[in-house]
Chain A
Amino acid sequence: SQTIHQWPATLVQPVGSPLSLECTVEGTSNPNLYWYRQAAGRGLQLLFYSVGIGQISSEVPQNLSASRPQDRQFILSSKKLLLSDSGFYLCAWRGGTGADEQYFGPGTRLTVT
């Protein structure tokens, strides 16, 4: 069966500090990978998606970047965090040898102070 991991689960960072969130998927190969952000009480905003190693598409211009160094690893980064980067960050996967459905990870709650 497939599983998706995200870490850390929670993070408190000062403004201007760097960020690195990691997501890994097990049990599938060549999935599409996604990063979403969910602000408090709001819907899901797609930030980045990747259809393969090194292939990143950005949905929203912002202070963040993403990378996919391995087939089942997706990383969300920032060089300098802004207050507006606070939120709940979710990684998701779809397709590959797994399924057509999309599954989400447990999320990382980021608070920028």
Chain B
Amino acid sequence: QKEVEQDPGPLSVPEGAIVSLNCTYSNSAFQYFMWYRQYSRKGPELLMYTYSSGNKEDGRFTAQVDKSSKYISLFIRDSQPSDSATYLCAMSEASWGKLQFGAGTQVVVTP
């Protein structure tokens, strides 16, 4: 079993819809959680960073962490075609520790 599980998709949604992405993990020591967006042939771009449990909002993006369920989510409101990309979750035990990545979910937002 992988430490971090993420559905690879593809996830196809119409423009304007809410995109819901999630990852589950098995290591209860994870405390630092990140979401990245990766466009084709580009390096991953950090979208959201959260520590421990709770919600964090930044513009159209909301990240949620539920440590009791070992489950993290990323929501994208009012999705745009420019949101079409692969979204990677990542997490670590320590603030400078090695990140464990999910496999990434491909998202396609259709006009």
On A, residues with C-beta under 8 Å from B are: 6, 32, 34, 42-44, 46, 49, 51, 88, 90, 94-95, 100-107, 109
Contacts and interface: CB of A to CB of B under 8 A. Distances in A.
B60 interface: no
B43 A104 contact: yes
Contacts of A94: 96, 99
A7 B46 CA distance: 21
Interface stretch (B11-19, B65-73, B76-84, B100-108): B100-108
B34 A101 contact: yes
Given A43-B104, A46-B98, A94-B96, A100 B43 contact: no
Contacts, number: 47
28 contacts: A32-B96, A42-B103, A43-B88, A43-B101, A43-B104, A44-B44, A46-B98, A49-B98, A51-B96, A88-B41, A94-B99, A95-B95, A95-B96, A100-B49, A100-B51, A100-B95, A101-B46, A101-B49, A102-B34, A102-B46, A103-B46, A104-B45, A105-B43, A106-B42, A106-B43, A107-B42, A107-B43, A109-B41
Given A43-B104, A107-B42, A102 B99 contact: yes
Interface residues of B, number: 21
A76 B104 CA distance: 25
A32 B92 CA distance: 14
Which 8 A-B pairs have CB atoms at the shortest separation, nearest pair first?
A95-B96, A104-B43, A100-B95, A43-B103, A107-B43, A101-B49, A104-B44, A44-B101
Interface in B38-75: 41-46, 49, 51
A44 B43 contact: no
B32 interface: yes
